[in-house]
């Protein structure tokens, strides 16, 4: 049995958006310390790892850890109905998840079927000895991805002693973008070893899409290894992994 309450229904919507951008089904693990979800996207090239601590909820009653598998696309649609000033209540409803929006003068109760998605929970985060850490302003990273998108469906990231470089190349031309440390875009550069890798741009855009404006995103890189992307939405913590693109 569990009963979770969030004071701002729209905040929970942002959290779910950050997951559904990669995966359309997933299992929330509702435990004493908080709610987590880990899943591979259907193509298997990326992973999302989500955790929100119990302190983010105004009511958090969980008598034992429970796995709740959901169609996240449907959950997203339901959460899209959140209005200003609405609280959100999520309750165990047997083979359904009960979602209640509580406004000052009305109540809306949704029931969402619980799915059996055991295998989804088995994924572990990859262990990579990253060589470079780059912390960027989220809006700058969104612009960088857009720049590259005008030329290619892939983007190269490269770090050097004191710079973060972005590369893209297509029939329409080439892009080389240089961001120095301690600037508007770059909040922190921590380079143990110069690194470079190329990634699928669409996946990066989907990963970054839910990241709040004017916040920080951290990229961890190792040459030709998966990238790790971290950001927070309020108290919720997101970690994504994306496999590198190997030119053949």
CB 177, min distance to its own copies, A: 4
The residue (of 171 and 247) whose beta carbon lies closer to its own copies is: 171
Cβ atoms within 10 Å, residue 30: 21
| Residue keyed to tokens 């809006």 | 139
Cβ atoms within 10 Å, residue 161: 8
User: Which residues of the shown chain bind its own copies in the complex (CB under 8 A)?
Assistant: 71, 73-74, 77-78, 80-81, 83, 96, 104-113, 143, 146-147, 150-151, 171-180, 183-185
CB 172, min distance to its own copies, A: 4
CB 100, min distance to its own copies, A: 10
The residue (of 31 and 165) whose beta carbon lies closer to its own copies is: 165
The residue (of 5 and 169) whose beta carbon lies closer to its own copies is: 169
CA distance 1 to 135: 40
CA distance 59 to 43: 36
The residue (of 169 and 232) whose beta carbon lies closer to its own copies is: 169
How far CA 203 is from CA of 73, 97, 117, 155, 183, in Å, comes to: 17, 29, 23, 11, 26
CB 169, min distance to its own copies, A: 9
CA distance 148 to 152: 6
| Residue keyed to tokens 């108290």 | 235
CA distance 230 to 207: 10
The residue (of 45 and 98) whose beta carbon lies closer to its own copies is: 98
CB 67, min distance to its own copies, A: 18
Q: From its phi and psi, is residue 2 left (phi > 0), alpha (psi between -120 and 50) or beta? A: beta
């Amino acid at each position: 049995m569990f009963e979770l309450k969030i004071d701002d229904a729209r905040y929970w919507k942002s959290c779910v958006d950050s997951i559904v951008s990669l995966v359309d089904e997933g299992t929330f693990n509702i435990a004493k310390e908080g709610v987590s979800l880990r899943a591979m996207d259907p193509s298997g090239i990326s992973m999302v790892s989500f955790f929100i601590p119990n302190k983010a909820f105004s009511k958090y009653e969980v008598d034992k850890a429970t796995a709740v598998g959901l169609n996240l696309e449907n959950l997203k649609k339901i959460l899209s109905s959140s209005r200003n000033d609405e609280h959100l209540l999520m309750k165990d409803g047997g083979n359904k998840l009960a979602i209640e929006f509580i406004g000052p003068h009305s109540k809306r109760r949704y029931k969402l079927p619980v799915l059996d998605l055991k295998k989804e929970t088995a994924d572990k985060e990859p262990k990579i000895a990253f060589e470079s850490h780059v912390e960027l302003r989220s809006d700058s990273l969104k612009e960088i991805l857009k720049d590259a998108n005008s030329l290619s469906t892939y983007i190269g990231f490269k770090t050097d002693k004191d710079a973060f470089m972005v590369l893209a190349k297509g029939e329409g031309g080439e892009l080389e973008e240089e961001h120095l440390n301690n600037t508007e875009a770059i909040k922190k550069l921590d380079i143990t070893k110069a690194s470079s890798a190329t990634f699928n741009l669409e996946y990066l855009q989907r990963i970054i899409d839910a990241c709040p404006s004017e916040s920080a995103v951290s990229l961890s890189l190792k040459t030709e290894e998966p990238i790790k992307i971290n950001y927070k939405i309020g108290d919720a913590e997101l970690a994504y992994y994306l496999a590198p693109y190997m030119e053949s």
